[in-house]
A and B are shown apart, each in its own frame.
Chain A
Amino acid sequence: MAGKSGRTIDATPKDVWKKNILSWEGMLVILFLLINIFCRCISPNYTVANVLREMPKYLSEIFLLFPMAYILMLGEIDISVGSTVCLSATIACIASNAGIPFPIVIVLTILTGAICGMVNGCILVKFPELPSMIVTLGTQIVFRGIAEIILGSGGSVSVTNTAGFRAIAGKIGPFPYIFFLVLISGVVFIVISMKTMFGRSLYAIGSNSRTSFYSGIKVKKVKFIVFTLMGVFAAIAALFLTSSLYGANTTTGNGFEMDAIAMAVFGGIATTGGKGRLIGGLISAFIIICLRIGLGQINMNPQVILIILGALLICAVLLPNISSGLKLKKKS
């Protein structure tokens, strides 16, 4: 009775422990522990304090993961996020340099991101025949292009009025603010996707957009909201990125969209839609961050780290397919 979503309407209770450990998320937790042990073994500097100190610069990408996971659940994709981050970071830097009070800088930045997201959402809702891949490919070029125009011939801007950005980069004990913010928004996003009507409609649309439309789900509205949310969180990521880089240039946020998609897919969220849980994405994000910090500490070539991440990503998608293929063979 398993549908495309992989959920069954089987009422017989199963062994809860066995089920939890054997699920994809259970495997990810084990992998997370293994990666940490591995990093501790290869690098003597891999201590809790050091990891927490290096974490903030990677954490801002996790903000992109949550709405990206929603978009993937819908069966869509958004590759314009990196450019939205670039444009929002540019606006944040310039607004802050102009002497505008920091709360208004935050509002302006988030507004920029929201508008970017709305443009994507608007085009996709008006022209549902267009695949999101190609629309966001176009807006990817446009958003970064606008940032290039604003940045002018120099191509970069640095923050002179750093007070506000230094404030949001602060810490409570050893934990930076962003760490708590990531966890809180993670929990909110997970609860929304599991327990609310909006969250369940994401899965429904991803499984079959047409049947969800006929069963009364406002497909267009949901799509529009999710893409706007993506823009808003890209702007939040841009704010925290600026608080660690104190500047923006034309290459800011390059490749962020791929990182966010990779985290989500590694966490078991299928790009075909309707499948996967956000908690897996969150665990896999921390796996990737820990691996990057650990391998970075032993001065491994960043390109080799990319090769390892690429191989991990492919294995993560390939292994379940192979095991299910073998099961099918056994049955027949």
Chain B
Amino acid sequence: MEKKSLWKKITGSREASLVIVLIVLCALISIKNPSFLALYNILEILKNNAVIMIMALGMLCVLLIGGIDISITSSLAFAGMTVGMLFKNGVIHNTFLGFIIAMAIGSACGFVIGLIIAKGNVTPIIATMGFMYIYRGFAYLVANSQWAGADALGGFKDFALESYLGFGVINNVLVIVIVCYIIFFIMMKWTKFGRNIYAVGSNAEAAEISGIHVARVKLAVYTLMGLLAGLCGALAVTVYASAQPNMMQNKEMDVIAACVIGGVSMSGGRGSVGGALLGALILAVIAKALPLVGIDALAQNTVKGVIIIAVIVLNVVTQRMMDKNNLERREM
């Protein structure tokens, strides 16, 4: 077989076209507004979108096994709200403990969803729709018509301002994002669990026959998603310095959109960590750039929606062209 040239390899991969989209976007914006590419601005964008970027990793796994999870922001609110109230009432003072509690709550939420989907054979969209109501309700019950503001959170909110995890150079929140991406990159590429996820997503039946416990993989993936949602609950509380029961409501759609823009297939089996990262970055850049290039605040959602549709349509068109090219090569 003839070896693919480097050029073909680059133009043939989905991530490459996304990188080009991202670069063109950034270039266009910085022509209009040079301050956009300042280091401070970039770090600020990354910090404010840390929650979406981390949850995109979990959603990547969920979409890879052919599922979907629209309850994530409800689990996030439940975990974040609980931690916020614990700090407000002075039950805990340790930042680290706050993160552990949020992650434990998130994992528990995800585990229950996983049980219903994997063992109860319920369609993911329905199961997670039910839990979207339930966990959001829990968040409101925990809040008990109160909320935790900046002064109530005390030392916890300083986590997002300091950079002791990044040796004083990189913000704590960014360190967590980077660590998550490194772990997931390694996990999805080189571990048995990661490859099992791809196997289940490509063909669950074949995976089952070849000895993979499909139900167990599904359970693990939804628990992992819950764990990340819990982590993001704590992160959201520190980044925005407040805990409210309605926090991040409807943002699950942004997470799904980030994955889909990044080329993750909704029917499972196709997608990568790099794609999820690029998708989340493109969304973040668009959201930040629209006011900078002078688009009216009222029109921003419309433009965002149109761009999402345009990108996914573009994805389909390039996929069709790639398939056609492959077919032509085979015929020769």
Contact = CB atoms under 8 A, between A and B. Distances in A.
Contacts of B278: none
B133 A137 contact: no
Contacts of A123: 309, 313
Contacts of A141: 253, 301-302, 304-305, 308
A325 interface: yes
Counting chain A CB atoms within 10 Å of each CB, the highest count among B120, B123, B141, B309 belongs to B309
A142 B253 contact: no
B302 A148 contact: yes
Interface in B185-208: none
B38 interface: no
Contact of B123 (A127, A145, A272): A272
B305 A142 contact: yes
Counting chain A CB atoms within 10 Å of each CB, the highest count among B257, B301, B306, B316 belongs to B301
A137 B130 contact: no
B312 A135 contact: yes
Interface in B122-162: 122-123, 125-127, 129-134, 136-138, 140-141
A77 B125 CA distance: 10
B315 to A, nearest CB: 9
| Interface SS of B by simple majority | helix
Contact of B127 (A77, A149, A314): A314
B266 A262 contact: no
A303 interface: yes
Contact of A133 (B122, B266, B303): B266
Given A131-B266, A138-B257, A313 B304 contact: no
A153 interface: yes
| Interface SS of A by simple majority | helix
B301 A310 contact: no
A149 B299 contact: yes
B127 A317 contact: yes
A130 interface: yes
A218 B266 CA distance: 25
A311 B305 contact: no
B33 interface: no
A295 interface: no
B133 A306 contact: yes
A271 interface: yes
B313 A130 contact: yes
Contacts of B301: 141-142, 144-145, 148
A139 interface: yes
A299 to B, nearest CB: 14
A77 B129 CA distance: 13
A67 B12 CA distance: 41
A310 B305 contact: no
A139 B253 CA distance: 12
A146 B138 CA distance: 33
User: Chain A interface: which size bin?
Assistant: 35 or more
B319 interface: yes
A314 B312 contact: no
B35 interface: no
Given A145-B299, A271-B125, A321-B122, A310 B131 contact: yes
Interface string A289-324: 000000000000101101101110110011001100
B260 interface: yes
B107 to A, nearest CB: 19
A317 B123 contact: yes
Contacts of A261: 126, 129
Given A137-B308, A310-B137, A149 B298 contact: yes
Given A142-B302, A145-B299, A306-B136, A134 B126 contact: no
B56 interface: no
B122 A134 contact: no
Contacts of B131: 310, 314
A170 interface: no
Contact of A309 (B126, B133, B138, B313): B133
A317 B127 CA distance: 8
A100 interface: no
B102 interface: no
B256 interface: yes
Contacts of B299: 145, 149
A158 B121 CA distance: 46
Interface string B250-268: 0001001100100000110
A123 B299 CA distance: 22
B108 interface: no
B132 A321 contact: no
A152 interface: yes
B81 to A, nearest CB: 12
A268 to B, nearest CB: 12
B46 interface: no
Nearest to B265: A131
Contact of B132 (A139, A258, A303): A258
A317 B308 contact: no
B86 interface: no
Contacts of A135: 309, 312
A140 B305 contact: yes
A270 interface: yes
Nearest to A153: B298
Contacts of B121: 321, 325
B116 interface: yes
A145 B313 contact: no
B130 A311 contact: yes
B284 to A, nearest CB: 15
Contacts of A134: 256-257, 260, 266, 312
B54 interface: no
A152 to B, nearest CB: 7
Contact of B309 (A133, A142, A149): A142
B304 A130 contact: no
12 contacts: A133-B125, A134-B257, A138-B305, A142-B305, A142-B309, A145-B299, A262-B130, A303-B136, A310-B134, A311-B134, A314-B126, A314-B131
Cβ-closest 9 pairs across A and B: A145-B302, A310-B133, A141-B305, A145-B301, A142-B305, A307-B137, A303-B140, A138-B309, A314-B130
